[in-house]
Structure formats: structure tokens, C-alpha cells
Structure 1
């Protein structure tokens, strides 16, 4: 709904978006600003492109002391979006355990630390947490196995939080598929690669950061007041199973299904 009458109107509410300076995080930040919220973005580096009226605070989210100090300094908090994360392409056998552990730290331990640091604020406000998960948490993720494992853990963590912290705090997860960010062409091998990958998505395109942002605003809003412990897929319908194309490659020679 729009802001004139709206269940998703967040005027007067304070939202923290971790890693909200670029890509999906920037889309989330812009969506909350459009909904009327006061948005505070925290990340290691400032945004390269201005994000409107959002405030930026430099924070290393893998430093629990710095994270606690950041949240303690806030006068209030209504919504926490645990968006910071990511991982480079790294086959398991090509890196040591310490490198993989750092991926898990950023994508699972850091959101836990931020949520704990934000707990008292959110409990007083009757607020909510939105975890930004990934389809990599529920499917094989060769080349990003530690990331996929961390995202699986994040979704499980959110469900447990939703039970432990109810009824004061709602906790939900957005399970995000492939997103067209400013770096997508590098990840998918240029614009032709992006177009080819987009054709595998039932809705015919990769998600835009604003698609994820809109879903996050919904979960944080009064429109979702009875939704907690949920995992909402934001993946355009998923991916067409490869076996379908293989099974129908010679369909003209196949008999009728029985």
C-alpha cells in the first residue's frame, strides 16, 4: 500500500540496515526511505553513491565490541535488517578452514551478534528483525559451500529467535535468489551471461535490489504483524529444473506419458 493510508507506512520508525551501502543493501535502504523510515546504514566503507537521507556509521560487523557500541549509541530502534554478507567464489579444497570460517563469521555469526546487540531496543519497541538469506542455503552451492552453510544456519537461527523472542520481537527471513546488482555482469560473465542466467528464472529476469527492499519493508510493517518465523522466497519462481530440458529434448520421438 502507499503511504497515504498505508499498512507499510514506517514514518517515525528507525531502521538499521547492515551492509546497506551497495547492491541488495542499497535497494533495501532506498525502500525503507520511501516508506518514511529513518534509516541508519552500517558497513565498513561508506556508500559510493549517495543514499538519500540515510545516515551512515562505519562499523566492522565482525567486531562484536564495535557492534555493541554502535547499537548502544542509538536512541531507538524499530527494525534490524541483517543484510551484510557475501563470499568470493572459493572451492572448498582451494582454501584452508580459516578462510571458510571467516565466510561463516560474516554471514552467520555477525547477524547473531547484531541481533543480540539490538535486542533491548527491539524488545522495547515491539520491533522486528529481517534476515537476508539465500537460496544457497537450501541447495548445493559448489564454489560457495561455506556461504551456503552459513545461510542455512541463518534461516534456522531466525526461526529459533522468532520463538524465543516472541511476542515482543518478530523475526523473519527473506530467501533471496539471483539479483542484478551493479556487479552482476562480473559474476555472470558479462551482459550476455546475465541475460542467459535470467532466462533460467521463471519470471524471466533477475531480481532487482528494490524487489528485495520491498519484501523487507513488508515484513517490517504492520501489514505483516502476524508473520514471524517465516521464510519468504524472493527468487522469481526459482529455477527451471535441468532435468525438464533433458527429458524433453527428444519429445517428438517420445510416446505418451503413462
Structure 2
């Protein structure tokens, strides 16, 4: 298996993409540090992958630098090495800049960006020692803007450029990459995926005609962290079912009644 003898930290490992990532690395032989600020969720995932025998659970608030330091220290004390850091912990945010206050803005930046900076900084010497890697979970929302998601858009865009900066600063010793999921069926996204009106609005926006599953994101994370991606560095792997391949123009084949009508409309859409 690709990760026999390897040690992987996954922040936000208690649910959603983080949980799926924990499970994927464990299935491929890694010892996984399940890090989450929700003790019960962390323990549930840890129990599901086999408990403390081969793995480790850590309760950590990623906006607390001391807690992140303890997470790294506990990992090294237990396993003596670190091969991959998956910076997955994050939070959503809804509101225009005129709707949110400075405390909210600072919290989003702390959870979504500063936590990646500090965890990566603390982990870097240990990753250098193993020739390891970092995978940051960004978002398709960091690649362009969404209505009403100002803080989240800004934070995830920062994650992408922080990924690129670390990738060039720390190569060739450590590779740093990111994944940018689109709409994914996680507990955090229930307000979107569980709302029929919103999902109807996604009709024509998602070429795959459904949200991603968390395990589909996890498989991409596992690839980027592996030796199969040994020359992939500073890359943002978009996992959105083709959503950002769309120009944003109307769905002409639906509006015009099929391909046979498009020939006559060809000059109109140029």
C-alpha cells in the first residue's frame, strides 16, 4: 500500500472531507492523526479506523497556535516522524462586506488561512526530514467570486497563493499542493445541498449533475500526497465536476431546444 509506514495529520478530520481523507489514508496503510476541535466527532472517526493502536486522536482548535504546536509535538512523540500534513480545517461564511463585522472577518481568516500558515510552519522541519508533503484544502470559491461570500472568497484565494508561495520556497525538500472542491455533500454544505431551491439553481451549473462525494475529494488529496505525484508541486487540483469549465453563459442547448437549433444561432453566440 502507498502509505505503509507513513504518518499523516488531517485537520478537521472529524467529518466531511476531513473524515473521508482520514479513512482513505488509513485504508492505504498510513498512521493517521485525526485532529478536530470536536472531541466526540474525532473519537468517532478514530474508533472507525481502528482506534489508538495505529492512529492518534488530537483535540485541537486550529486558531490557537499553542494547540497546533501541541498537535505536532504529540505526533512526533508518538510516531517520531511526519510525512504529510493535510490542512483541511475550515469554515464557511455568508455575507457581503457591508453585512459582516471585523470579528467575523478575522475569524474566517484565522480558521481558513492563518491555521494553514501556522500548522505548515510548525510541521515544516519534520516534513523536510522525511521529504514529505502538504496538501491544503482550498475551494473553487477561491478561484472566482460568489455572490454573498466575500470573506470566504478572500480566504480561499489566500490559501491558493499561500500554497504556491510555500511550494516554491520549500521545494525540493517538501512539495505543497492544493485541492479546490466545488459543491460537495458534507455537513458544512447541508444548507446548500439540502435546499431544493438552491439545488434547482445548480441545474445546468454542475455538468456532472450532482455534488461531489467527500471520498472523491479524499482520493485526490491522497494522490497529491503520494509518490505518484512526486513531480507535482504548487498545483491546484480542481475537483468540481466541470463547474468552473463553464463560462457562465446560459445553457443554450436547453434554451434553444437541442443541437439542431444551435446551427442557426451560431453567429449569435460568438
Q: What TM-score comes out, normalization by structure 2 length?
A: 0.85
- Report the alpha carbon displacement of residue 256 of structure 1 after superposing the two structures with TM: 4.3
- 1:218 aligns with 223
Deviates more, 1:231-240 or 1:201-210: 231-240
- 2:266 aligns with 257
Deviates more, 1:247-256 or 1:152-161: 247-256
- Indicate conservation of the 8 Å contact 2:87/2:134, yes or no: yes
- Indicate conservation of the 8 Å contact 1:15/1:80, yes or no: yes
Q: Determine whether 1:201 maps to 2:189.
A: no
Moved over 6 A (4+): none
Matching of residues 59-74 of structure 1 within 5 Å: 59-74=60-75
Q: 1:141 to 1:199 in 2, by over 3 A?
A: closer
- Indicate conservation of the 8 Å contact 2:212/2:241, yes or no: yes
Matching of residues 78-97 of structure 1 within 5 Å: 78-97=83-102
Segments of 5+ residues of structure 1 without an aligned counterpart are: 4-8
- 2:3 aligns with 10
- 1:149 aligns with 154
Q: Determine whether 1:32 maps to 2:22.
A: no
Distance 1:17 1:256 in 2: 50
Matching of residues 117-156 of structure 1 within 5 Å: 117-156=122-161
Q: CA RMSD in A?
A: 2.3
Greater per-residue helix proportion: 2
Segments of 5+ residues of structure 2 without an aligned counterpart are: none
Q: Determine whether 1:113 maps to 2:118.
A: yes
Secondary structure at the residue paired with 2:14?
Answer: coil
- 1:57 aligns with 58
Provide Cα deviations, 1:218-258, integer angstroms capped at 9, x if missing partner: 01111001111111111111154442326973575994424
Q: What TM-score comes out, normalization by structure 1 length?
A: 0.88
